[in-house]
């Protein structure tokens, strides 16, 4: 963010070349400060120009000083995504996770964007198998001149993420509800989606906490006779892990 420095009044013009001798002698007897102010020119037109220039310069300085500045972003960094969700939650919501430590998502700037994914297939034998998948995604925004504050940029991302979940291609039974007491604003979206010949149920929770957006996607299905999780189950899993992820953002910035 760059802020223009207030303009300074222009220096008085040098004396005009043609000055009457009497005026020169009169000015010579006046203290230096008064000479600079009142004897710098013999032309009334020049005085008006000086006055106008000084006024314009002063006005420009006031405008520059009055320009609103962007508030600095609250959060300066992101947590390590795969450590944002506790092991107990992974055991509960992704039983038999293939990698309990999670799989880190690719990113060019881990302090602006980070993600982690867990998935697992819990084989229940004759009762079938339960597949669960959990993804947590973080996006952080700095206040940027010409673009807006970190909070405002995060607000736009929050709206895009909610709209994206609601508009998932081929999704059915889409339901949206606010989540109270989570971040500055939070929305939960649940829906059904058929893929790989199985009926998946999704729970998505998107949260904005100051200049950071946290999006959690929790979904699953049942194979070989096992039932898919209920809408309540996936929303509960997404909400619980979203709370942990939001808390991780605050913890990372308090270190």
**CA-angle at 27, arms to 23 and 32, nearest 5°:** 160
Annotated domain spans of the chain: 1-69, 81-252
**Each residue of 206-229: pLDDT tens digit?**
999 999 999 999 999 999 999 999
Are residues 226 and 206 in contact, defined by beta-carbon separation less than 8 angstroms?
A: no
**Each residue of 132-150: pLDDT tens digit?**
999 999 999 999 999 999 9
Dist CA 81 CA 160 (whole Å): 21
CA-closest candidate to residue 139, choices 106, 167, 115, 166: 115
Which residues make Cβ contacts (< 8 Å) with residue 219, sequence separation at least 6? Answer: 132, 133, 193, 200, 201, 202, 203, 234
Dist CA 158 CA 206 (whole Å): 7
Please provide the CATH number assigned to the domain covering 81-252.
3.40.1000
CA-closest candidate to residue 77, choices 104, 113, 116: 113
> Can you point out the beta strands (E) in the chain?
103-104, 113-123, 129-140, 172-178, 185-195, 198-209, 212-223
CA-closest candidate to residue 26, choices 46, 42, 43: 42
CA-closest candidate to residue 217, choices 101, 100, 137, 112: 137
Residue 125: Cβ within 10 Å count: 7
Concatenating the DSSP letter of every residue in 180-216 gives TTSSSEEEEEEEEEEETTEEEEEEEEEEEETTEEEEE
**Each residue of 74-122: pLDDT tens digit?**
999 999 999 999 999 999 999 999 999 999 999 999 999 999 999 999 9
Residue 185 burial by CB count (10 A; 0-12/13-18/19+): exposed, middle or buried? middle
**Each residue of 25-59: pLDDT tens digit?**
333 333 333 333 344 444 454 554 455 444 444 44
The enclosing H or E element of 67 equals none
């Amino acid at each position: 963010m760059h802020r223009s420095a207030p303009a300074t009044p222009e220096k008085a013009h040098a004396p005009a070349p043609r000055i009457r001798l009497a005026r020169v002698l009169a000015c010579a007897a006046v203290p230096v400060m008064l000479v600079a102010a009142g004897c710098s020119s013999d032309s009334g037109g020049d005085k008006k120009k000086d006055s106008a220039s000084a006024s314009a310069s002063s006005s420009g300085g006031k405008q520059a000083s009055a320009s609103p500045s962007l508030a600095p972003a609250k959060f300066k960094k992101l947590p390590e995504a795969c450590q944002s969700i506790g092991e107990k939650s992974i055991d509960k919501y992704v039983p038999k996770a293939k990698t309990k430590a999670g799989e880190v998502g690719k990113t060019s700037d881990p302090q602006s964007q980070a993600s982690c994914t867990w998935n697992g297939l819990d084989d229940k034998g004759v009762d079938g198998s339960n597949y669960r998948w959990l993804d947590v995604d973080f996006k952080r925004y700095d206040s940027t001149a010409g673009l807006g504050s970190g909070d405002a940029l995060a607000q736009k991302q929050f709206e895009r993420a909610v709209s994206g979940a609601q508009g998932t291609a081929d999704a059915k039974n889409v339901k949206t509800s606010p989540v109270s007491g989570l971040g500055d604003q939070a929305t939960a979206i649940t829906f059904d989606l058929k893929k790989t010949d199985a009926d998946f149920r999704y729970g998505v929770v998107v949260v904005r906490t100051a200049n950071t957006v946290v999006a959690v996607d929790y979904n699953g299905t049942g194979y070989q006779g096992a039932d898919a999780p209920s809408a309540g189950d996936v929303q509960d899993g997404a909400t619980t892990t979203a709370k942990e992820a939001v808390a991780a953002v605050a913890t990372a910035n308090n270190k």
